[in-house]
Amino acid sequence: MEKKAAALPSKFVDQLVVPGDVVLDLTTLANSTIKLGGGLRQECDTITAMKAGVLRFAKPNKYWVESSQKRYVPCAEDHVLGIVVDTKADNFLVDIKGPAIAFLPVLAFEGGTRRNIPKFEVGTLLYVRVVKANTGMNPELSCMDANGKASGFGILKDGYMFESSTGLSRMLLSSPTCPVLEILGKKLSFEIAVGLNGRVWVNGASPSSVILVANAIMNSETLSGAQQRIMVEKLLQRVQ
Amino acid sequence: MEQRLANTWRMSVNDKKFIESSLLSDLRVDGRRPFDYRKLSIKFGREDGSSEVQLGETHVMGFVTGQLVPPYRDRPNEGSLAIYTEFSPMADPSFEAGRPGENAVELGRIIDRGLRESRAIDTESLCILSGKLVWSIRVDLHILDNGGNLVDAANIAALAALLTFRRPECTLSGDDGQEVIVHSAEEREPLPLIVHHLPVAVTFAFFSNDNVVVIDPTHKEEAVMKGRLTATLNTNGDVCAIQKGGGIGVLQSVVLQCLRIASVKAADMTSKIKDAVESYNTVRAFRKVKRHSAPIAVSVDGSVAIKKQSQDGAQKIEL
Amino acid sequence: MEYVSPEGLRLDGRRPMEMRQIRAEVGAVSKADGSAVFEMGNTKVIAAVYGPREVQNRSQQLNDQALVRCEYTMSNFSTGDRMRRPKGDRRSTEISLVIRQTMEACILTHLMPRSQIDIFVQVLQADGGTRSACINAATLALADAGIPMSDLVTSCSAGYLNSTPLLDLNYVEDSAGGPDVTVGILPKLDKVTLLQMDAKLPIDTFENVMQLATEGCKAIANYIREVLQENTKQLESRRGT
């Protein structure tokens, strides 16, 4: 059974699919369980795509459609960049580019108690983790990892944040390190925080290097590895 | 309430601080220098009098149409020029559908003041029959994408569209000379508008620090800026309109310095617009030659096919 | 047409650099928190200020500063030909916006977050320079309402006819089709916050005309100061100290 499941979808795996494409026919793979990720939907006996993108398959039985959007659909355990919109008694209201405002409980900080609630002004930039993302509920965020440690989450001070697409964020987070970051890292020193919601924050010693990094990253979205290298070299030359 | 919070575009304090602090060292977040314009591209539609302007991420479409109407009572010998703006919610979530908002009105008024009150378009030549019939020229400006500095982009779109607009020629006939004949494009070559000069709008943004001035602000810079000044100038060094509607105060010397910079930039823009119009006119003339030499090719194209019937008349002019 | 006679007098007998008679009165509307009437010659404007008060439309509330709103209306009887004016036409929408932004420049809005300040200005008689008169009236009304401001904004217009810069145009001069420069300044800081101009004018001439209008603004600022001082003195005496 397992073999069949792996063999059949090969027609579509790593191929472009558009909404409505029948990706899998369940009747041909009786008894096998498969896991569906984003962009796929079960319709009676078939699995159809509902987003345009590349169909990915991971062993043993995971399928999902990989695409790039400006919009973000919250998903548990994603690391995102959020902007504080308002403060309520129990929660900070945080915009994470999703369809609904996310809640960040005021106690969801390392060692957080009623006595040491942080004060965030409206517009503060936070690096947070999505804890719950259920439909019909506002997503819940946390500034701790699963073990209750801060591990980098929390407020991002200074620097520059820009918005791009979720695809670019994934590219920046992929390993091995994507070419833009690799070359930039060799030439300049800077800090970067990438949120899966398409927000990227960059900070560096001088404003000029921050601007360079930000623009290089924004330009790199549609470029191949080699093109990225050339683009970054050009930008670096222009500055120096 | 929460719905509202989720639907507005917002900026982080980090960005605000960063944009302001990097401007202190003459750096802008998109890598430009303070007095650089973004990349400008002017395109034209297939029909006369339509233009599409892209200034960085800002995208504006201009469309000019003419109509024969009775003139205003106080100006029986003049045609009229009206500017209409359309801020579609498509361009920016903050634009609301329906009635034009304050910003749309202000934009329309700035362009209107620059073009009309400086008499850039000769309205007297638009009169057909004194007191009875004049051409009313309408400029529609549609904002398709808001990347900041809509005024300059919309102004260029309006100019480009006006420069390529052609109105049908009209002649008077009848016993008393009161009958108006509107000639079709095939009979007589349509006439361009008489444009005396090109008023080009140049927008400056002021920030909370006194000495920081930038030209052509982007959407993000507009969110941070504390004041704005739009100066409309032509290549003769005339100021045609200025709009600084409140906002942070600036020294008089800064205003005058801005005007001088604007006059240089206006000359720059004028040549760009003229080049684009020039190449459009060449293409247009070329297209017409083709239309007659290859009638089969024409019939494929829907927009020209209708005009085929009177080809004989048109050919006469060609020769 | 001749707007400046060979003797150097204008149609209404003024010199080119002369302003019309100005008169201001504070506290003209009893219900309003602050109000004023401002006259420049035959131009007469009334302004009323309400606030800071609770924001009416919650969705417009700003968490870090006060919301300033402005409504400019022109009475039907204010001009020579009496006509029904549609509310919210393009001209009055623009003037409302300009007055609001100009007043916002001097009101210390960050001291009054989550509140709203309404400014209503109505033109009772229009004889040129209504925009300036409205701003002057609004400044007085705001001061009367005791709203914290960094400076008093004042405004004045100037034009250029018969190769002469003219201060404070009246209706006839305004409709001559010449350039019309309206300037609004923060007199203490000597900074320009409002600047509007139309029709054609070479840069150098513009500089002179703008300078003239700025001088006019300063003169008005002095007058407004006096009016406010007088008003404060009266209030003091009423309190009986």
The pLDDT, as a whole number, for residue A43 is 85
Distance of CA B67 to the CA centre of its chain: 19
Report the distance separating Cα A129 and Cα A140, nearest Å.
9
Peptide bond into C165 cis (omega under 30): no
- Does residue C3 sit within a domain? no
Tell me the mean pLDDT in the region A94-122.
89
- Give the pLDDT confidence of C170-209 residue by residue, as tens digits: 999 988 888 999 999 999 988 999 999 988 899 999 999 9
Using the Cβ of B239 and the Cβ atoms of chain C, whether some distance falls under 8 Å is answered with yes
Of B6, B17, B27, the CB nearest to A158: B17
pLDDT band at C90 (very low <50, low <70, confident <90, very high): confident
Give the chain B residue nearest C58 (alpha carbons): B1
The pLDDT, as a whole number, for residue A30 is 64
Chain C residue numbers with beta carbons less than 8 Å from the beta carbon of B243 are 195-197
Of C5, C44, C1, C3, residue with least CA distance to C22: C44
* Residue at a domain's end among A66, A97, A126: A66
What residues have CB less than 8 Å from C33, skipping those under 6 apart? C49, C50, C51, C144, C145, C146
For the record, the structure tokens of B256 come out as 């005058």
Of A236, A158, A162, A169, residue with least CA distance to A203: A158
Using the Cβ of C149 and the Cβ atoms of chain B, whether some distance falls under 8 Å is answered with no
**Structural domains in chain A (count):** 3
Beta-ladder partners of B297 = none
Contact C97 B117 (CB under 8 A): no
User: Which of A72-76, B88-92, C98-102 is most confident?
Assistant: C98-102
Beta-ladder partners of A28 = none
Euclidean distance between the first and final Cα of chain A, in Å? 60
Using the Cβ of A124 and the Cβ atoms of chain C, whether some distance falls under 8 Å is answered with no
Using the Cβ of B313 and the Cβ atoms of chain C, whether some distance falls under 8 Å is answered with no
Report the distance separating Cα B204 and Cα B37, nearest Å.
11
Alpha-carbon distance B233 to nearest alpha carbon in chain A (angstroms): 32
Which chains are within 8 Å of B by 3+ CB pairs?
A, C
Contact B25 A207 (CB under 8 A): yes
The pLDDT, as a whole number, for residue A9 is 52
- Does residue C4 sit within a domain? no
Of B117, B118, B158, B152, residue with least CA distance to B137: B158
Tell me the mean pLDDT in the region A99-123.
89
- The enclosing domain of A115 has a CATH number of 2.40.50.140
Domain shared by A56 and A117, yes or no: no
Euclidean distance between the first and final Cα of chain C, in Å? 58
Tell me the mean pLDDT in the region A91-101.
90
Under 8 Å CB pairs connecting chains A and B tally to 68
Three-class DSSP category at A231: helix
- The enclosing domain of A175 has a CATH number of 3.30.1370.10
Q: Is the pLDDT of residue A32 over 80?
A: no
Residue B300, sorted as left (phi over 0), alpha (psi -120 to 50) or beta, turns out to be alpha
The pLDDT, as a whole number, for residue A149 is 86
Using the Cβ of B177 and the Cβ atoms of chain C, whether some distance falls under 8 Å is answered with no
Question: What one-character DSSP code corresponds to residue A67?
Answer: -
The pLDDT, as a whole number, for residue B316 is 37
CB proximity under 8 Å: B 86-105 to C: 99, 102, 105
Chain A residue numbers with beta carbons less than 8 Å from the beta carbon of B6 are 95, 98-101
What residues have CB less than 8 Å from B170, skipping those under 6 apart? B68, B128, B180, B181, B182, B183
- Does residue A174 sit within a domain? yes
Report the distance separating Cα C32 and Cα C12, nearest Å.
35
- Does residue A73 sit within a domain? no
- Give the pLDDT confidence of A169-205 residue by residue, as tens digits: 998 998 888 888 988 988 889 999 999 999 999 999 8
- Give the pLDDT confidence of C59-72 residue by residue, as tens digits: 888 888 899 999 99
Report the distance separating Cα A117 and Cα C9, nearest Å.
72
Ranges of each domain in chain B: 13-285
Chain C residue numbers with beta carbons less than 8 Å from the beta carbon of A122 are 63-64
Of C90, C185, C214, the CB nearest to B108: C90
For the record, the structure tokens of A31 come out as 């008894």
Contact C64 A122 (CB under 8 A): yes
Report the distance separating Cα B249 and Cα B208, nearest Å.
10
pLDDT along chain B (319 residues), means of 10: 55 89 89 91 90 94 93 88 89 79 89 89 89 92 92 95 92 82 86 92 90 91 92 91 89 92 93 94 80 48 43 39
Domain shared by A177 and A147, yes or no: no
pLDDT band at A3 (very low <50, low <70, confident <90, very high): very low
The pLDDT, as a whole number, for residue B41 is 94
Residue C165, CA distances (Å) to C17, C133, C170 in order: 8, 20, 13
Report the distance separating Cα B182 and Cα B220, nearest Å.
49
Chain B residue numbers with beta carbons less than 8 Å from the beta carbon of C149 are none
Instruction: Find out whether C34 and C147 touch, Cβ atoms under 8 Å.
Output: yes
Three-class DSSP category at B251: coil
Of B11, B17, B27, the CB nearest to A211: B27
- Does residue A6 sit within a domain? no
Of A85, A99, A161, the CB nearest to B14: A161
Contact B14 A212 (CB under 8 A): no
The pLDDT, as a whole number, for residue B12 is 87
- Does residue A140 sit within a domain? yes
Chain A residue numbers with beta carbons less than 8 Å from the beta carbon of C64 are 122
The pLDDT, as a whole number, for residue A196 is 92
Alpha-carbon distance C198 to nearest alpha carbon in chain B (angstroms): 4
Tell me the mean pLDDT in the region A87-111.
90
| φ, ψ at A33 (rounded to 5°) | -95, 140
Of B5, B16, B29, the CB nearest to A211: B29
Residue C113, CA distances (Å) to A89, A188, B56, C62, C119 in order: 19, 42, 35, 7, 17
Under 8 Å CB pairs connecting chains B and C tally to 111
| Residue C205 lies in domain | 10-240
**Structural domains in chain C (count):** 1
Of B108, B249, B260, the CB nearest to C193: B249
What residues have CB less than 8 Å from B55, skipping those under 6 apart? B37, B38, B39, B40, B147, B149, B152, B153, B156, B216
Of C239, C131, C201, residue with least CA distance to B263: C201
Alpha-carbon distance A172 to nearest alpha carbon in chain B (angstroms): 20
| Residue A22 lies in domain | 15-66
For chain C, the average pLDDT equals: 90
Using the Cβ of B13 and the Cβ atoms of chain C, whether some distance falls under 8 Å is answered with no
Of A85, A138, A214, the CB nearest to B29: A214
Of the CATH numbers 3.30.230.70, 1.10.1040.50, 3.40.50.300, 3.40.50.2000, which one belongs to the domain with range B13-285? 3.30.230.70
Report the distance separating Cα A223 and Cα A179, nearest Å.
10
Using the Cβ of B248 and the Cβ atoms of chain C, whether some distance falls under 8 Å is answered with yes
Residue C177, sorted as left (phi over 0), alpha (psi -120 to 50) or beta, turns out to be left
| Polymer length of chain B | 319
Using the Cβ of B108 and the Cβ atoms of chain C, whether some distance falls under 8 Å is answered with yes
- The enclosing domain of C28 has a CATH number of 3.30.230.70
